[in-house]
Amino acid sequence: HANTLSLHDALPISTANPSEVKILNAIEDARLPSNSEKVMAGAYSPDLPSSDVVIKYNTKTADITALEPELRQHIEYLQLIKDDFDAGGKLYQKLYSNVPSGKMLTADKAGIHAEVLATNEVVKQLKVAGKFNGIQDLNKIKVLVKGKVSSRGLENMCRCPHCFQIIDGVKILGNQ
């Protein structure tokens, strides 16, 4: 495996669930995120059994206009909340429940995180296969998010407030 850290011991993934094992193995075999990327995500849908796991990395240069409409629908609203926070505002306290300011600090621009980018690619695949008919079909997708958060290597990551809203319905493995 490409990663020196075995993730199998660190995840509450069911070894009886082939799609979860497939995602874990793909993450283990992928290149580690760079220092600027920090986070990687693997996304997969059991509704597309012959497809590969999509691996994506955080990138500040992601084109959010390329996101599928179902994922793009709340981007402007979420970015308004982030812009208000960056300007010293407290709008997030009224519009999000139980989101600490630290989460808002790390949230960055809405729609550019690895889990959204990977989910977007799987949504496209499901649409081509005629198996994605609306936002409710996000529940056909499973995502594992791993990030460099310490010297211990890759660890499970929780979604930022933006990603939580954008891909609500996706099954996040390990952490919500």
What is the chain's mean pLDDT, rounded?
A: 88
15-33 average pLDDT score: 89
Tell me the pLDDT band of 12, cut-offs 50, 70 and 90: low
Alpha-carbon gap, residue 141 to 115, rounded angstroms = 11
pLDDT at 150 over 80: no
Mark 108-142 as b/e (b = at least 16 C-beta within 10 Å): eebbbbbbbbbbbbbbebbeeeeebeebebbebbb
- Digit-coded pLDDT (tens) for 42-66: 999 999 988 999 999 999 899 999 9
Q: What's residue 112's pLDDT?
A: 94
